[in-house]
């Protein structure tokens, strides 16, 4: 494309912004009203580092919403359909958030820092305003604010070695989504086993926004002997792995049942949560749409700028949110939301690309 997105002071920058510019960032997206790197101009190299080596990503735009105070747990549980009754300090959990209609409005990771303190590490929508409004209207005794915490992801099969060289042996013993606070050359961080890929790795939440470049450089130095390089939440790998990208893969009115998040909804818990009545009904009625993997026939497709329609014969049966050419499968892989009435072995599916229809077949997700 021949145009650029404006870079200026109005849109917030990550504490790692200067470091990413120095590292050669080539493109940004806007996520939670912040710039977030999406390319360093070498898509094949970035993919290869993530699959076979180690990669470091500025994901500070995965902003934190802190719930703190006597009613913090009450608010956390009221915000999500997931049952949090066995949630312990030091643990993280994937906690979809729904509105009163039962539609998914975010899919954060929740970190329990103390009995009265939680962080929601959010996807791209305004959870801070939502949580503040809910807390106020419910008269909960809780403060809802944004803490100084900015994730830097280290992902790939060699991430564990890099983190061991930085912190010692303990991070390797963390369970998935669990975390611990630490210091690195005096830089306060929170180390979590998480990250938006299926290649393994960690996230270092920087706890002092003034030290972004210092942390970036320290990680780059430790990772050098493992071939670390800059990367971003990887467009191709996340489709291959079937990780949900809120906003890209769902519709504004998708229920958790329609986008693969039904397993996180606990309708049997006694506690009230936002959307419970609507989700009960949605569950009884059965989902209208399902999320499927598609293999799209033909030569390699470029990433889609718009959503594409999916047809069964002449009937419009849904939308494809994302397509990527998988170097490992040598196929076009896509995620789509289509009518539940379409059978998984449907033989007459097509995807309406800007350059014409392409045949598609439904496949299990993850693709690899
Ligand atoms: N890290 C941090 N914050 C984030 C993300 C992250 N905020 C935005 C976004 N990513 C939140 N969304 C997701 C979606 C999926 C996963 C993590 C965050 C994920 N899912 C696994 C899966 O679907 O297989 C495991 C889910 C589970 O076992 O509970 O990892 O990446 N800090």
Nearest CA to ligand 1 atom 28: 94
Q: Are 364 and 345 in contact (CB under 8 A)?
A: no
Compute the average pLDDT of residues 37-59.
97
Tens digit of pLDDT for each residue in 64-110?
999 999 999 999 999 999 999 999 999 999 999 999 999 999 999 99
Counting every residue written for the chain, the total comes to 368
- pLDDT average, residue stretch 330-344: 97
Q: Which atom of ligand 1 is nearest to the CA of 244?
A: 14
The answer to whether 79 touches 144, Cβ cutoff 8 Å, is no
Q: Does the pLDDT value for residue 5 go beyond 90?
A: no
263-279 burial code (b ≥16 CB/10 A, e <16)? ebbbeeeeeebbbbebb
- What pLDDT is attached to residue 182? 98
**Mean pLDDT in the chain?**
97
Closest C-alpha to ligand 1, atom 22: 243
Please state, in angstroms and rounded to a whole number, the distance separating the CA atoms of residues 54 and 177: 19
Please state, in angstroms and as integers, the Cα–Cα distance from residue 116 to each residue in 73, 240, 290, following that order: 6, 38, 37
The preferred substitution site among 109, 239, 367 for testing ligand 1, maximizing ligand atoms within 8 Å of CB, is: 109
Question: How far from the centroid of its chain's Cα atoms is residue 6's Cα?
Answer: 24
pLDDT bin (cut points 50, 70, 90) of residue 171 is: very high
pLDDT digits (tens, 9 = 90+) for 241-293: 999 999 999 999 999 999 999 999 999 999 999 999 999 999 999 999 999 99
CA-nearest residue, atom 17 of ligand 1? 196
Mutate which of 121, 175, 201, 241 for ligand 1? The one with the most ligand atoms within 8 Å of its CB, which is 121
Q: Which helix (H) or strand (E) holds 281?
A: helix 276-285
Q: Do β-strands 92-94 and 109-114 pair in parallel, antiparallel, or remain unpaired?
A: antiparallel
Give the residue, out of 32, 56, 62, with the most ligand 1 atoms within 8 A of its beta carbon, to mutate for a pocket test: 62
Question: Residue 258 and residue 251: Cα distance in Å, rounded?
Answer: 10
Give residues with Cβ within 8 angstroms of 186, minimum separation 6. none
From edge to edge, which strands make up the β-sheet containing 117-121? 92-94, 109-114, 117-121, 64-68, 143-145
Contact between residue 123 and residue 34 where contact means Cβ atoms under 8 Å apart = no
CB 254 within 8 A of CB 103: yes
The C-alpha atoms of residue 118 and residue 120 are separated, in whole angstroms, by: 7
**Residues within 6 Å of ligand 1 by CB:** 62, 94, 107-109, 121-123, 151, 194-196, 203, 243-244
d(CA 271, CA 78): 8
Kindly list the distances between the CA atom of residue 181 and the CA atoms of 111, 170, 178, 232, in Å, as whole numbers in the listed order.
12, 11, 11, 24
Give tens-digit pLDDT for 134-147.
Answer: 999 999 999 999 99
**Dist. CA 293 → ligand 1 center (Å):** 19
What does the pLDDT read at residue 1? Answer: 62
pLDDT at residue 2 in the model = 74
Q: What's the pLDDT score for residue 293?
A: 98
The answer to whether 15 touches 212, Cβ cutoff 8 Å, is yes
**Span 224-234, mean pLDDT?**
98
d(CA 342, CA 330): 26
At residue 319, what are phi and psi to the nearest 5 degrees? -130, 145
Give φ, ψ of 354 to 5 degrees: -60, -20
Tokens of 158: 């060699």
| Cβ atoms 35, 61 nearer than 8 A | yes
For helices 72-79 and 127-137, angle between their N-to-C axes, nearest 10 degrees: 120
Chain centre to alpha carbon of residue 337: 18
For the chain, domains (ranges, CATH) are 17-62+148-239 (3.30.1360.120), 64-145 (3.30.70.1400), 289-368 (2.40.30.110)
Q: For residues 164 and 171, is the Cβ–Cβ distance under 8 A?
A: yes
Query: Computed over its alpha carbons, how large is the radius of gyration of the chain?
Result: 21
């Amino acid at each position: 494309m021949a145009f650029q997105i404006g870079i200026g002071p109005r849109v917030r920058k990550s504490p790692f912004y200067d470091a990413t510019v120095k590292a050669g960032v080539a493109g940004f997206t806007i996520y939670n009203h912040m710039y977030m790197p999406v390319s360093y101009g070498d898509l094949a190299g970035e993919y290869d580092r993530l699959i076979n080596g180690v990669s470091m990503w500025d994901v500070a735009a995965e902003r934190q919403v802190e719930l703190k105070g006597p009613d913090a747990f009450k608010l956390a549980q009221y915000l999500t359909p997931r049952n949090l009754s066995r949630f312990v300090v030091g643990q993280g959990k994937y906690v979809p958030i729904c509105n009163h209609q039962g539609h998914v409005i975010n899919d954060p990771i929740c970190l329990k820092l103390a009995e009265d303190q939680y962080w929601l590490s959010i996807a791209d929508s305004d959870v801070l305003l939502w949580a503040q409004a809910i807390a106020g209207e419910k008269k909960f005794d809780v403060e809802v604010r944004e803490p100084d915490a900015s994730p830097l992801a280290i992902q790939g099969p060699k991430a564990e070695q890099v983190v061991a060289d930085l912190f010692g042996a303990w991070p390797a013993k963390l369970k998935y989504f669990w975390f611990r606070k630490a210091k690195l050359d005096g830089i306060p961080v929170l180390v979590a086993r998480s990250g938006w890929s299926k290649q393994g790795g960690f996230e270092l939440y920087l706890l002092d926004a003034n030290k972004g470049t210092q942390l970036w450089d320290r990680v780059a130095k430790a990772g050098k002997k493992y071939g670390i390089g800059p990367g971003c939440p990887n467009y191709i790998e996340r489709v291959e792995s079937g990780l949900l990208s809120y906003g890209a893969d769902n519709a504004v009115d998708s229920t958790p049942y329609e986008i693969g998040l039904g397993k996180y909804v606990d309708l049997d818990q006694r506690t009230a949560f936002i959307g419970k009545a609507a989700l009960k009904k949605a569950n009884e009625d059965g989902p209208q749409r399902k999320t499927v993997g598609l293999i799209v026939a033909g030569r390699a497709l470029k990433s889609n700028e718009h959503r594409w329609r999916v047809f069964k014969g002449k009937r419009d049966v849904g939308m494809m949110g994302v397509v990527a050419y998988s170097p490992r499968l040598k196929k076009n892989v896509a995620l789509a939301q289509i009518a539940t009435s379409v059978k998984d072995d449907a033989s007459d599916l097509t995807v309406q690309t800007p350059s014409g229809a392409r045949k598609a077949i439904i496949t299990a997700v993850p693709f690899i």
